[in-house]
């Protein structure tokens, strides 16, 4: 299968067709991120922990400051000027997310704290209403803990079973075995679009097709996909899609659950409180329409406005160009570090997003991270909230470099030099 065809399968928009950033463009992008201008331990900061959280451009920081300096008020309930303006800006953020995901309606966009809360919402609302004793929820062997534990809680509560599609030695989902696990008892499929531990891009379009043939809805965990590739929820035909603002250059504390209107309308509320009701008496409450039914209490208004700025920043540059840049970095880094003796890359799927996990013989990943930190290079070490993936590869942890819009090939050279230093220390 060609790369383009595989990208199509994965729901990608052929980033290899996009033009790479020129040196001047990249410098301009880097200048947008104030945090990158500093030194760490006397060395220029090289930030390769983007899969954990990405840095914020000035446009996002300014939008949040501007909101607090000029607009701050609670939304929906006020008739005064500031409240109306805050409400308008919050509504505008929802429309920006709708456009970003190409959702049919802004009402299909629910603001949550992040991917974790989005998945818990679906598990506790859709799951509790639709999963019963003996039923099954199907996930993959490369899920983040936040796409495992909410389903375990649900299954434990309901007497249902969590089924897991296995992955191979490259970190790819065994799609045939996954399809075989779809049974008449499967009530929901939940898969990650991109693995945070391995970088694998899953063939989500194919997975959705397989599940839909059996009338099973699919939730896609897009935490690691939304920052790197065009996501079109209508084209994918996913039933739910979740992502976190803070990984896509927005603030922490804000994220998104997309859900098809028909499903959201039929689902019971997740949390009770202000804003999610139509009327309340001590005998009975009735609920607001979606999306408000799922947004109890004062939301993260500034967060939504910051996310709006982040998504506009990404869209102005072009998500395809961002994906192409990161892909170039991934290929460059893969070539550079695979030449280092005793280094092993963990995760070599044919389709990967900008995540490079590796181990060094006889060196604990935490030691790699600590020595690289002294060189100004920030990577993540540990199990990456994916303990089952570590178990699958018989390792306790990996070192992980993950790439973003502002990273450069020179920074990867610094990473490779740092790894050589680690080897010298442990020689
Ligand atoms: N899923 C994946 C694949 C992730 O990488 C992460 C974050 N590491 C999450 C879910 C959870 O995201 P958050 O912590 O922002 O809720």
pLDDT digits (tens, 9 = 90+) for 7-59: 444 544 445 568 999 999 999 999 999 999 999 999 999 999 999 999 999 99
Query: Catalytic site residues?
Result: 385
Strand 277-280 relative to strand 285-287: parallel, antiparallel, unpaired? antiparallel
Last residue of a domain, one of 315, 335, 363: 315
Q: Is the pLDDT of residue 342 over 60?
A: yes
Tell me, yes or no, whether 73 and 194 share the same domain.
yes
- Which of 280, 295, 315 is the C-terminal boundary of a domain? 315
Same domain, 164 and 286: yes
The number of CA neighbours under 13 Å toward the Cβ of 427 is: 8
- The answer to whether residue 1 scores a pLDDT higher than 90 is no
| Closest ligand 1 atom to 114 CA | 16
Q: Are residues 294 and 160 in the same domain?
A: yes
pLDDT at 78: 84
> Do 34 and 114 fall within a single domain?
no
Q: Supply the pLDDT for residue 159.
A: 98
pLDDT of residue 228: 97
Mean pLDDT, the chain, whole residue set: 95
Q: 245 C-alpha vs ligand 1 centroid, how far in Å?
A: 10
Distance CA 351, CA 348 (A): 8
Bridge-partner residues for 163, per DSSP?
138
Domain-embedded: residue 7: yes
Residue 290 reports pLDDT greater than 50: yes
pLDDT of residue 427: 86
pLDDT at 14: 43
- Looking at residue 136, its pLDDT comes to 98
Residues 206, 135, single domain; the answer is yes
Q: What is the pLDDT of residues 266-277, one digit of tens each?
A: 999 999 999 999
Last residue of a domain, one of 300, 315, 330: 315
Q: How much distance in Å is there from the Cα of 272 to the middle of ligand 1?
A: 25
Query: Which residues' Cβ are closer than 6 Å to ligand 1?
Result: 114-116, 144, 146-147, 192, 196, 221, 223-224, 244, 385
Give me the phi and psi of 422, to 5 degrees please.
-60, -45
Query: Tens digit of pLDDT for each residue in 292-330?
Result: 999 999 999 999 999 999 999 999 999 999 999 999 999
Q: What tens digit of pLDDT does each residue of 55-112 get?
A: 999 999 999 999 999 999 999 978 999 999 999 999 999 999 999 999 999 999 999 9
To test the ligand 1 pocket, which listed residue (116, 117, 201) has its Cβ within 8 A of the most ligand atoms?
116
Q: Residue 112 forms beta bridges with which residues?
A: 255
Beta-carbon count within 10 A of 132 CB? 12
Q: How confident is the model at residue 286 (pLDDT cuts 50, 70, 90)?
A: very high
Task: Mark whether 329 and 208 lie in a shared domain.
Answer: no
- In the chain, count of helices (H) and strands (E)? 16, 17
Which residues form the domain of 84? 62-315
345/380 same-domain check? yes
Supply the CATH number for residue 233's domain: 3.40.640.10
State which ligand 1 atom lies nearest to the alpha carbon of 52: 8
Q: Which two tokens stand for residue 298?
A: 């004062």
Ligand 1 pocket test, candidate residues 113, 149, 204, 244, most atoms within 8 A of CB: 244
Cβ-proximal residues to 289 (8 Å cutoff; 6+ apart), any chain: 107, 265, 278
Total number of domains in the chain? 2
pLDDT at 390 over 50: yes
The two three-digit tokens of residue 375, written as one number: 């060189």
Query: Model confidence over 122-143: pLDDT tens digits?
Result: 999 999 999 999 999 999 999 9
Q: What is the DSSP letter of 123?
A: I
What CATH number does the domain containing 327 carry?
3.90.1150.10
Can you give the pLDDT at residue 17? 66
In a domain, 262, yes or no: yes
pLDDT at 16: 54
């Amino acid at each position: 299968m060609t790369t383009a065809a595989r990208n199509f399968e994965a729901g990608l928009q052929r980033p290899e067709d996009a033009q790479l950033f020129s040196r001047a463009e990249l410098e301009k992008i880097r200048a947008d991120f104030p945090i990158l201008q500093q030194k760490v331990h006397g060395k220029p900061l090289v930030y390769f922990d983007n899969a954990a959280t990405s840095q914020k451009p000035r446009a996002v920081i300014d939008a949040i400051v501007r909101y607090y300096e000029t607009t701050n008020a609670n939304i929906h309930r006020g008739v005064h000027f500031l409240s109306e303006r805050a409400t308008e800006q919050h509504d505008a953020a929802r429309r920006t997310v709708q456009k970003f995901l190409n959702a049919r309606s802004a009402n299909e966009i629910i603001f949550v704290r992040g991917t974790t809360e989005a998945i818990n919402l679906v598990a506790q609302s859709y799951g509790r209403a639709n999963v019963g004793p003996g039923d099954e929820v199907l996930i993959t062997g490369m899920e983040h803990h936040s796409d495992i534990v909410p389903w375990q809680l649900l299954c434990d509560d309901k007497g249902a079973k969590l089924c897991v599609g296995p992955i191979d030695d490259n970190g790819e989902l065994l799609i045939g075995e996954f399809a075989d696990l779809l049974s008449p008892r499967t009530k929901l499929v939940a898969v990650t679009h991109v693995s945070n531990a391995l970088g694998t891009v899953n063939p989500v379009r194919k997975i959705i097709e397989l599940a839909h043939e059996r009338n099973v809805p699919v939730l896609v965990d897009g935490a690691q996909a939304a920052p790197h590739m065009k996501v079109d929820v209508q084209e994918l035909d996913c039933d739910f899609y979740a992502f976190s603002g803070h990984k896509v250059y927005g603030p922490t504390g804000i994220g998104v659950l997309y859900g098809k209107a028909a499903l959201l309308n039929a689902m019971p509320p997740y949390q009770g409180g202000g804003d999610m009701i139509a009327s309340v008496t001590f005998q009975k409450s009735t609920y607001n329409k979606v999306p408000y039914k799922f947004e109890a209490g004062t939301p993260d208004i500034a967060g939504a406005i910051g996310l709006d700025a982040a998504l506009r920043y990404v869209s102005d540059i072009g998500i395809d160009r961002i994906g192409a840049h990161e892909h170039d970095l991934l290929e460059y880094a893969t070539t550079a570090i695979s030449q280092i003796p005793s280094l092993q890359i963990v995760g070599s799927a044919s389709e990967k997003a900008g995540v490079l996990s590796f181990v060094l013989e006889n060196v604990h990943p935490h030691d790699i991270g600590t020595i690289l930190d002294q060189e100004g290079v920030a990577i993540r070490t540990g199990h990456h909230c994916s303990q089952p993936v570590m178990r699958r590869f018989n390792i306790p942890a990996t070192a992980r470099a993950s790439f973003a819009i502002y990273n450069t090939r020179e920074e990867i050279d610094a990473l490779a030099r740092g790894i050589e230093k680690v080897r010298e220390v442990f020689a």
